[in-house]
Structure 1
């Protein structure tokens, strides 16, 4: 297959692996190779699905990733447009962690989470709108439903915290979490092979939501700290 048709670079089909990540990297490569600039339109969703041989949900997940990073925007009825230049070197934040020592890695990432999430909760409490509250509560309800059915939650917990970040109306919070997301998920998925890891923090997500509803920034900070204190206790207890 030729790399170009005329002056337009091709988007190549993908092998079966991590589809969403590969789509993200393929789009970044396309933007770089096609020398797209801010304001240029990206290929339509159906064109991307056909070119990359993936489904609509995978394309949309990759698009959400770029939106969270603040580099593209979707305009209703018009398409998806580039806001800033992007390349494969800029779509991931390479975090360097000692993967041989899980306990230390978890405590290190917890220190980062404590700083970002406490501040995000406080800002969300001050700035949240009625629409934000509806989204946060929807994610919380789903988290609680899954938790009660399975005794644990993973993607639902992340979705709840992402909704809180969105309620800050400061895109940097979401961009930071999105950049660190892959590394965080890598280490925070059932650490120590324990399904009950941090289960005791579950009720504090509801009290965090209540603090955001009440626009009580200090209470939001305190409830966030309660969540993270449980997590820290479990790391130390389960790693003995």
Structure 2
């Protein structure tokens, strides 16, 4: 490891993304290779002047991209060399034309999420169901209390992705996160965006629990059909 490579404290804005970039830069500058151990969590917290939750969010991002792995009782290890130019190359669109961005991204969501739901129905474990249902329960709780559930909705879909046991689903989402997140950010300043899709999340869960791939696909399409209708109606 290059003795001149150091990690510097970060400013307050957008900490998780900055930690991701700082770690990628550190890996590149220190010329770390596959199999090398990354600094411990406490060392990263002290060097970058951020909290544990921020460090862990950045680590989860790296894990989703298949770049690192955490070995219990041993530490976090690099699976392949990275740099700031390669660790996060988001696939994004022109956000000044929100309607077009949403419709174009929806085409990709339809393909990915229908397939993910079907694979999850085939591959899910009892532990996966526990996680998905917990995310769904939280989504329903927030929805009923506040009338909207953006982050909780996203967390539910991510849990379905994880239940596929195919890391590429998560990796694709990470590459398109900027475009995908528009769906959970009250587009068109409408908190009721896609609210009518709310009941279909429970029926999607039921199909996955029943190991019914075709049913999971149908329920996913119902969710996305509502989303498409709202994009077209609310953007007029």
Distance 1:128 1:109 in 2: 26
Which one of the candidate residues 11, 16, 21 is aligned to 2:17? Answer: 21
Match of 1:65 in 2: 61
Structure-to-structure mapping, 1:173-188, within 5 angstroms = 173-186=169-182, 188=184
Residue 31 of structure 1 corresponds to 27
Separation in 1, partners of 2:137, 2:227: 21
For the aligned residue pairs, the C-alpha RMSD in angstroms reads: 1.3
- Distance, in Å, in 1 between the alignment partners of 2:89 and 2:25 is 16
Task: Answer whether contact 1:106 1:188 (CA < 8 A) is retained.
Answer: no
Q: Measure how far apart 1:48 and its partner are.
A: 0.4
User: Which residue is 1:158 aligned to?
Assistant: 154
Contact 1:211–1:219, Cα closer than 8 Å, also in 2: yes
Structure 1 position 111 matched with structure 2 position 107:
yes
Match of 2:44 in 1: 48
Is the Cα contact below 8 Å between 2:69 and 2:79 reproduced in 1?
yes
Deviation at 1:85, TM superposition (A): 1.2
- Cα distance in structure 2, aligned partners of 1:41 and 1:8: 17
Distance 1:213 1:91, change over 3 A: same
Seen in structure 2, the aligned counterparts of structure 1 residues 95 and 80 have a Cα distance that, compared at 3 Å, is same
Alignment: residue pair count: 236
The answer to which of 77-86 and 115-124 deviates more is: 77-86
Structure-2 separation of matches of 1:106 and 1:130 = 34
Q: For residue 187 of structure 1, report the CA deviation from its aligned partner.
A: 5.9
Unmatched 5+ stretches in structure 1: none
The alignment status of 1:234 with 2:230, answered yes or no, reads: yes
Residue 89 of structure 1: how far off its partner (Å): 1.4
CA offsets per residue over residues 58-81 of structure 1, 9 Å max, x none?
Answer: 000000100111111111111111
Change (3 A) 1:229 1:92: same
Match for 2:210 among 205, 209, 214?
Answer: 214
- Please state whether the residue corresponding to 2:176 is helix, strand or coil: helix
TM-score (norm 2): 0.97
Structure 2: gaps (5+ residues): none
What is the aligned partner in structure 2 of residue 84 from structure 1?
A: 80
Deviations 1:141-161 (A, max 9, x none): 111111111101111111111
Distance 1:166 1:238 in 2: 32
